[in-house]
Structure 1
Amino acid sequence: MKRTITLAASLMMMHALPMDAAAANDKGAFVKVDRTHFVRGGQRYYIAGANFWYGAYLGAAGKVGDRARLVKELDTLKAAGINNVRVLAVSEKTDMPSAVRPATTAAPGQYDEDLLAGLDYLLAELAKRDMTAVIYLNNFWQWSGGMTQYLNWFEGTKALDPNITKDYEDYMAKTVRFYRNDQAQAEYRNVIRKIVQRVNTVTGKRYADDPAVMAWQLANEPRPGNARTTPEEKAVYVKWIADTAGYIHGLDANHLVSSGSEGLAGSAQDGELFMQAHRSKHIDYLTYHLWPKNWGWIDSKTVAATWDGALEKSRHYLNVHIDYAKKVGKPIVLEEFGMDRDNASFDIKAGTTVRDRFYGAVFDVITTRATKGEPIAGFNFWAWGGAGRAANPDYWWKEGNDLMGDPPQEEQGLYSVFDTDASTIALIRATAAKLKGLERK
């Protein structure tokens, strides 16, 4: 009888040990910050990533989703060396025509469970491939509803669509009221809590306990205002970043938190503001974005005449932000950059010569400075179009069309990297391999 009890106890211990080991492995699998670098599993960790904002949409089980395509996309990305995707957590229902449909949130507190389950499925599939996600929880821009839709709900003001008004300065000036609106902030925190504390219906894990999540991000490209941002608006913005990041860390002690900032372009061209916004103890790393065409540095139809100037400005922008990160003492990720196809075409058959030159120049800066041990912690290119294809002759998205890297505010094919873009994917794969090699040094 004693032997039976001993054997039973031994068997119980055998079953208990793997669970303990799994918990320990989970702890080691979280991405952490060690001074100016990411670490994971006891070694340095570099991001070789893609923007894949619609990943949760593909993961939905209903007619919106396409799980077979999602699996295919993740396999293709994994084969290209990608270890991280940057994805949208929620969208807000809006009347604005240039926003994605359907939305995760029909009204405050009203969620589409199919779309939330799509994020569950995405995270489960990422875990199978040892990939991680940066999940952003709001959007300064209108293409997912975003901050202007919150103001529509709680101020009663019209949600602004700059695709219609063509006045981005006015849009930015009005959208920053979001940071001051108490009701909007309360609902935003409800959403944060809903997502961060969610239990994954596929894996049974709380998101807050899931190593497949690398970081929570406050929003996509939050800005303090427009070109005439006031000192008061800057102060409100800095406080909002610190307070919101602190709130997230209070819910989740395992994951990193970042702002989603574009850098100087999203900080009223104020380097001190950019650094101040990221010095908060609650912000774990810096982010920045690079858009030479959007910022008027290059003309896609006269590349020869504008290339040299655009390249000089781009390299400076890339390098100065790494210098800012050194001053702040934290890692930085170039989490958006892109270039359109040759001759400003949206056609998937158009070449990618200029894009490949641009990607090559960007990757050269990243790998050169990373090799020196500087705080550039990786990249996320914008954006993965994968197997998606434009459906309409004018290249504008309509509900029911394939989702791809270009959100509904842009022509489909503008900046997407498709699964047939072999030369671009080869550049991405080679750069991912270089960064992976640095992890072992």
Structure 2
Amino acid sequence: MRLLALTRLAVLVPLMTAATQKRAVPEGFVTTNGQTFELDGEPFYYMGTNAFWLGLLTSPEDVDATFLTMADAGIKVARTWAFNAINATELPTALETNLTYYQVWNDSDWTLNEGPQGLQRLDYVVSSATQHGIKLILTFTNNWVGYGGMELYIYHILGNTATHDEFYTDPTIIASYQRYVTAIVNRYANSSAVFAWELMNEARCAGDSLPAGPDCVPGSETLTTWYQSQSDFVRSLDPYHMITTGGEGQFYWAQPDEYWYNGTLVSDFNFNGEAGEDFEASLSLSNIDFGTYHLYPQTWYPELDYPGSNFSVLNWGLGWIGAHANTSAYVGKPVIMEEFGVTGLDNKTSIYPVWVGYAIATGHARVHPWQFGMLNLTEDGGNRVLKYTDQIYQGASPNDGFTVYPNQTSVWDVFVAAAIVQDWRT
């Protein structure tokens, strides 16, 4: 029902909206023109990917080989972390294991690491991307604990009694975040390799270890206000590169979707504002150039996704894609399917072609599967523990169950084919 309604709306809504004002940018920079990306005055359609671990590689040859493999597959935009923060207590281990780190937190402040084990590694990623014709979405911090996300700011500045959402409102934390953002933006402001700056990966009211507080609830617009102030700040540093949120794309609908579970009608957090996002409101902000959404039905609805249930991962994803295409048309800005994944090779083979095909058919979406898999990495003999459960194992980049490697041809070819289609459209 929802998919059919959204498909009809996506046809009608563009007649009701005006195109977003196009911003002039230097040669080689991507910008937007209504719902379309443009590069040097021409429409820019592309196939994208995610490779958060690029800055963690210690071998320039492995970085180059990764970008070459991406380019050969037709990928034009890659998303990666422009953050890697550690506590001072972790520094000895980081030095011993050659872990990349850009920030070192000690007490209530952090020190920037611009050395060969720090931002010089990100410098090389940007340089290699330039050489291989690939543009980068650079993300400033993480809602989650991985590689030093926002809760490091909270713990060091406010302590462990704070709530997760105080990151978005506390003046000292905001100033600290902006100081880091300034360092990254100023470092790469002149680089045409930067596709866009991204404010945060998957901002929510709650995090891994800290709960949401009473000031971050449906309708509070805490995240929207933060998106506005931080996108305005980044725009003051850089008038040319695009800016996006990095959000998962949750909605705040007046009549959110519901579903039955254990005899109870449950309000769907992806549509009721519980996570903190209001996709339409954030996409409408003046300095948010395009929208992002993520797609993980198996992870989001484990209570519904079981053998014999009536829940369809494939169909739920189609509805989610349609909802964001509709909002893109209504607001008049592009959106990208920035992350998506299912586990299991059979699931990937059957579901990805349908999702990707529908996203492209809407005319409003570019796709970034989570995540890119690289083989034949050579550093440390092809075996190296990174952090958490991430590792280079037998020459393969980290595998979280969603990773797609070149030797999985039935899945890999889905994205190679999509890249060809996007090239043809351009």
Provide the TM-score with structure 2 as the length reference: 0.77
Distance in 2 (alpha carbons) for counterparts of 1:128 and 1:102: 22
Unaligned runs of 5+ in 1: 1-25, 59-64, 159-172, 199-206, 342-351, 407-411
- Aligned-residue Cα RMSD (Å) equals 3.2
Offset at residue 277 of structure 1 (A): 1.7
1:149 corresponds to 2:152: yes
1:269 corresponds to 2:271: yes
Aligned to 1:311: 314
Q: 1:177 to 1:77 in 2, by over 3 A?
A: same
> Is the CA contact 2:383–2:391 (under 8 Å) kept in the aligned structure 1?
no
- Structure 2 counterpart of 1:328, from 302, 312, 331: 331
Distance in 1 (alpha carbons) for counterparts of 2:82 and 2:35: 27
Question: Residue 275 of structure 1: SS of its match in structure 2?
Answer: helix
Q: 1:42 to 1:257 in 2, by over 3 A?
A: same
Question: Residue 385 of structure 1: SS of its match in structure 2?
Answer: coil
Q: 1:322 to 1:102 in 2, by over 3 A?
A: same
> Which has more radius of gyration?
1
Distance in 2 (alpha carbons) for counterparts of 1:307 and 1:73: 40
Query: How many aligned residue pairs are there?
Result: 361
Aligned to 1:359: 352
1:208 corresponds to 2:183: no
- Cα distance per residue 1:121-164 (max 9 Å; x no partner): 11111111211000000100111221111111101228xxxxxx
Distance in 2 (alpha carbons) for counterparts of 1:258 and 1:273: 14
Offset at residue 293 of structure 1 (A): 1.3
Distance in 2 (alpha carbons) for counterparts of 1:319 and 1:269: 14
> Is the CA contact 1:93–1:145 (under 8 Å) kept in the aligned structure 2?
yes
- Cα distance per residue 1:178-198 (max 9 Å; x no partner): 112211111100000001101
Aligned to 1:78: 71
> Is the CA contact 1:91–1:103 (under 8 Å) kept in the aligned structure 2?
yes
Instruction: Tell me the amino acid that sits aligned with residue 155 of structure 1.
Output: L
- Cα distance per residue 1:326-374 (max 9 Å; x no partner): 1111100000001122xxxxxxxxxx2221212111111112222xxxx
Identity level (%):
22
Question: Residue 382 of structure 1: SS of its match in structure 2?
Answer: coil
Question: Residue 246 of structure 2: SS of its match in structure 1?
Answer: coil
- Cα distance per residue 1:80-101 (max 9 Å; x no partner): 11001001001221479xx995
Aligned to 2:263: none
Aligned to 1:179: 168
- Cα distance per residue 1:227-280 (max 9 Å; x no partner): 987558732221110010011011011100000010117985247922112211
> Is the CA contact 2:375–2:397 (under 8 Å) kept in the aligned structure 1?
no
Aligned to 1:188: 177
Provide the TM-score with structure 1 as the length reference: 0.74
- Structure 2 counterpart of 1:139, from 136, 142, 165: 142
- Give 1 or 2: higher helix fraction: 1
> Is the CA contact 1:297–1:310 (under 8 Å) kept in the aligned structure 2?
no
Aligned to 1:256: 242
Distance in 2 (alpha carbons) for counterparts of 1:329 and 1:405: 37
Distance in 2 (alpha carbons) for counterparts of 1:196 and 1:368: 34
- Structure 1 counterpart of 2:389, from 397, 418, 422: 397
Question: Residue 257 of structure 1: SS of its match in structure 2?
Answer: strand
Instruction: Tell me the amino acid that sits aligned with residue 175 of structure 1.
Output: H
> Is the CA contact 2:67–2:134 (under 8 Å) kept in the aligned structure 1?
no
> Is the CA contact 1:339–1:415 (under 8 Å) kept in the aligned structure 2?
yes
- Structure 2 counterpart of 1:422, from 371, 394, 409: 409
Q: Equivalences for 1:8-407 in 2 at 5 Å?
A: 27-58=26-57, 65-94=58-87, 101-107=99-105, 108-114=110-116, 115-157=118-160, 174-198=163-187, 207-225=188-206, 230-231=216-217, 234-264=220-250, 269-270=271-272, 273-296=278-301, 302=307, 305=308, 309-341=312-344, 352-370=345-363, 375-376=364-365, 378-387=366-375, 397=389
Unaligned runs of 5+ in 2: 1-24, 207-211, 253-268
Aligned to 2:423: 436
Instruction: Tell me the amino acid that sits aligned with residue 137 of structure 2.
Output: V
> Is the CA contact 1:51–1:382 (under 8 Å) kept in the aligned structure 2?
yes
Distance in 1 (alpha carbons) for counterparts of 2:410 and 2:396: 19
